Amino acid sequence: EATSREMVAAARGVLRGVAVRRWAGWLVGGRRQTHYPVKRLQGVELTSYTERNIRTSPFRLNLIAQLVRRMWVPEALTQLHLLNKRFSPVVAQAILDTTERAAAEHELVPEELEVERCFVTCAPFLKRIKFHAKGKFGMMKRRSGHLNITLAKIDFKERIGSANSLKRRRIWEVRRDTAQKAREQALGEWANKRMFPPEERRKNRSEKRREQREAERDAETREAA
């Protein structure tokens, strides 16, 4: 009997702990889903932007924010273009404004960025009259929200190395090449070639340097003779 009582008490304790964790997760669930630990962001170039006082429900706006969170910026813009939501163009424009700020502050193109954080906070609401039956009335709230976006620079070398499948590795390799082409188009062909150096280009440069050194040595020997 004592053993059965102890087992029942232990089971009740476990269930009580599960209920408490579920309740706590429900209370802070929005914050846990929208914020990320700062340790992951150390040493990463970040660009933040806030679109304030968007006249819609923060809950509805956060549904769109959850969709594009942790996405590559071109993919996020494509998803928002195809999304049948009223405020998806607002989120897309906010992401474009953030990419312009990243280009001005860190000289980064959109293909090098991902949506690190995208969450909605409550803004001041407006009080309006809500009419009821029999001449009575109440109050309703016209809610609005602030859209907070943070873009981070992608480390393509790390993503390719940590890919768990060949398909994901090829996807990140294609994205790396796309980012390289976009950077060359935006900043010029010779701008910052040390980023994402392809293997063939590195080999070609080493061969050209070797040929140039051999030509210089031949010219020196001819002058000496």
Condensed to tens digits (0 to 9), the pLDDT of residues 109-157 reads: 999 999 999 999 999 999 999 999 999 999 999 999 999 999 999 999 9
Q: Which of 96, 213, 114 is nearest to 171 (CA)?
A: 114
Residue 75 has pLDDT above 50, yes or no: yes
pLDDT band at residue 222 using 50, 70 and 90 as cut-offs = confident
The reported pLDDT for the residue numbered 104 is: 86
Annotate 40-78 with b (16+ C-beta within 10 A) or e (fewer). Answer: eeeeeeebebebeebebbbeebbebbebbbebbbbebbe
CA distance 148 to 130: 31
- This prediction has a pTM of 0.67
Q: Name the one residue in this structure whose structure tokens are 């062909």.
A: 189
Mean pLDDT of all residues belonging to the chain: 80
Residue 201 has pLDDT above 60, yes or no: no
CA distance 62 to 146: 10
